[in-house]
């Protein structure tokens, strides 16, 4: 067991490659620590807050579109001529064409699209988080391997130097030991840079310093068939579908906008007349008014045509989105299958404990059964094998997370309530 203290604190874990003998049925364990970590990141992430705000905005617009289009109007009039007239009235424009309902249909489709966008943001964030975590853990393992190689090469060089001074080791083998240590230090520097980059990528998602849980186990050793995924249920497809539905509803809005909405008004007033003798007569007046717009200068036919073109664009975009989703699912399925097969072959190769192999090499060299060059070559091979195991497991994790993200199953797999 080991610990690492960095800007992102890390939970201790055993080197991945030393668990190569784990049974093939082992799977990544969704531990409480991992679940809590992911949930805490998602609760206050700006990307989700942005998508949630967009959804609330869409809902507010929907409420607005569901309101009546016209308010009643109060009218006041006064005329002072031969007679003095005062009147008050009220008028109301009526939505005879059903514009309110058509606009509400557009808004409802936009709300559904915003809900799907929120689902996309959630699964995208969770996928990115887990893949960054896998990269971080693999980079940390690789850095540990590189540091242990430097330590062993340094120890070997010190011993080789003492033997060379005693005349028991040729100068050429001592030079080989020095070159090997230089190479190990360069590799450790490269591993440190890779770890820093992985840490940066993870912190960009997490946002604050926090204990980072380990990924335990391996990805499942088989992947469901592609035909078990229903494209229409994916949030990306729902967004495209709802955008097409909104475009279709806009055609209805444009057509209904061509129907003139009449305005009906009622008024009551008082008309007063004065005779030459100074007498005054008063008469109560009543009025009814009806006005209807005449769509002569603008029939709004261009708007209907434009809405039809927008629908064609949305439908083609939906078809294009389907193709993209099918391609992504097929590709992620293929990558996961390849990673699973590579991991299975790696396990079947019978790689044993690399630490035991290193101890054996040390005993052989101490006994003089192998020379320094052979020892260095075989020792470096054990570290190369260890790094290969780390890379294989990393690829298995990332392709598994990519598959879960592509098929929108990652939240369900993590058992995180959406």
pLDDT digits (tens, 9 = 90+) for 308-318: 999 999 999 99
Residue 367 vs residue 154, higher pLDDT: 154
**Other C-beta atoms lying within 10 Å of the C-beta of residue 323:** 10
- What mean pLDDT do residues 386-391 have? 89
Provide the CATH number for the domain around residue 142. 1.20.1600.10
**Segment 158-194, tens digit of pLDDT:** 888 888 888 877 888 888 888 889 999 999 999 999 9
**Segment 122-150, tens digit of pLDDT:** 999 999 999 999 999 999 999 999 999 99
* pLDDT of amino acid 284: 87
- What mean pLDDT do residues 400-406 have? 93
**209, pLDDT greater than 80:** no
- Count of structural domains, the chain: 1
Burial 287-311 (b: 16+ CB within 10 A, else e): eeeeeeeeeeeeeeeebbeebeebb
Least confident among 9-18, 206-215, 381-390: 9-18
**Segment 220-251, tens digit of pLDDT:** 777 778 888 889 999 999 999 999 999 999 99
Cα distance between residue 120 and residue 358, in whole Å: 48
Q: Is the sign of the CA dihedral 411, 414, 415, 418 positive or negative?
A: negative
Q: Is 125 left (phi over 0), alpha (psi -120 to 50) or beta?
A: alpha
Report yes or no on 279 lying in a domain: no
**Segment 51-95, tens digit of pLDDT:** 999 999 999 999 999 999 999 999 998 887 777 888 999 999 999
**Other C-beta atoms lying within 10 Å of the C-beta of residue 382:** 21
* pLDDT of amino acid 20: 34
* pLDDT of amino acid 349: 72
Average pLDDT over the chain, rounded to whole?
Answer: 85
Report yes or no on 292 lying in a domain: no
* pLDDT of amino acid 23: 35
Residue 216 vs residue 121, higher pLDDT: 121
- Given a contact cutoff of 8 angstroms between Cβ atoms, the answer to whether 203 and 7 are in contact is yes
Report yes or no on 242 lying in a domain: yes
Residue 44 vs residue 368, higher pLDDT: 44
Cβ neighbours of residue 406 closer than 8 Å, sequence gap 6 or more: 325, 328, 329, 332
* pLDDT of amino acid 11: 30
Report yes or no on 211 lying in a domain: yes
Q: What is the extent of the structural domain holding 371?
A: 16-69+103-246+330-414
**Segment 263-276, tens digit of pLDDT:** 999 999 888 887 66
pTM of the full structure? 0.81
**347, pLDDT greater than 80:** no
- What mean pLDDT do residues 15-28 have? 39
Report yes or no on 366 lying in a domain: yes
* pLDDT of amino acid 195: 95
């Amino acid at each position: 067991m080991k610990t690492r203290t960095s800007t992102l604190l890390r939970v201790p874990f055993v080197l991945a490659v030393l668990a190569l003998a784990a049974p093939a049925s082992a799977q990544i364990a969704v531990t409480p620590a991992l679940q809590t970590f992911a949930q805490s990141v998602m609760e206050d992430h700006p990307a989700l807050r942005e998508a949630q705000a967009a959804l609330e905005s869409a809902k507010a617009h929907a409420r607005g579109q569901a309101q009546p289009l016209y308010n009643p109007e109060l009218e006041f009039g006064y005329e002072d001529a031969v007679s003095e007239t005062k009147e008050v009235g009220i008028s109301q424009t009526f939505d005879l064409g059903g514009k309110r309902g058509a606009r509400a249909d557009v808004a409802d489709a936009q709300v559904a699209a915003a809900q799907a966008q929120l689902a996309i943001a959630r699964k995208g964030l969770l996928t990115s988080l887990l893949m960054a975590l896998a990269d971080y853990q693999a980079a940390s393992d690789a850095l540990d391997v590189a540091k242990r190689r430097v330590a062993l090469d340094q120890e070997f060089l010190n011993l080789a130097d003492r033997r060379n001074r005693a005349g028991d080791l040729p100068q050429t083998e001592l030079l080989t030991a020095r070159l090997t240590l230089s190479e190990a230090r360069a590799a450790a520097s490269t591993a440190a840079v890779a770890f820093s980059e992985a840490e940066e990528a993870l912190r960009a998602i997490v946002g604050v310093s926090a204990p980072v849980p380990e990924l335990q186990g391996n990805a499942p050793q088989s992947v469901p068939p592609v035909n078990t995924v229903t494209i229409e249920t994916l949030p990306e497809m729902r967004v495209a579908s709802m955008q097409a539905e909104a475009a279709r509803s806009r055609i209805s809005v444009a057509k209904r906008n061509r129907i003139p909405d009449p305005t009906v008004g009622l008024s009551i007033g008082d008309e007063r007349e004065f005779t030459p003798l100074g007498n005054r007569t008063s008469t109560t007046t009543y009025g009814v008014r009806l006005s209807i717009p005449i769509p002569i200068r603008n029939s709004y036919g261009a708007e209907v045509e434009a809405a039809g073109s927008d629908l064609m664009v949305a439908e083609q975009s939906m078809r294009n989105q389907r193709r993209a989703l099918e391609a992504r699912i097929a590709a992620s399925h293929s990558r996961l299958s390849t990673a699973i097969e590579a991991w299975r072959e790696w396990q079947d190769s019978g790689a044993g404990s690399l630490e035991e192999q290193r101890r054996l090499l040390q005993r052989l060299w101490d006994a003089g059964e192998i020379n320094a060059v052979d020892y260095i070559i075989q020792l470096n091979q054990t570290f190369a094998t260890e790094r290969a195991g780390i890379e294989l497991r990393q690829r298995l994790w990332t392709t598994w997370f990519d598959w879960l993200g592509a098929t929108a199953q990652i939240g369900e797999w993590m058992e995180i309530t959406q």
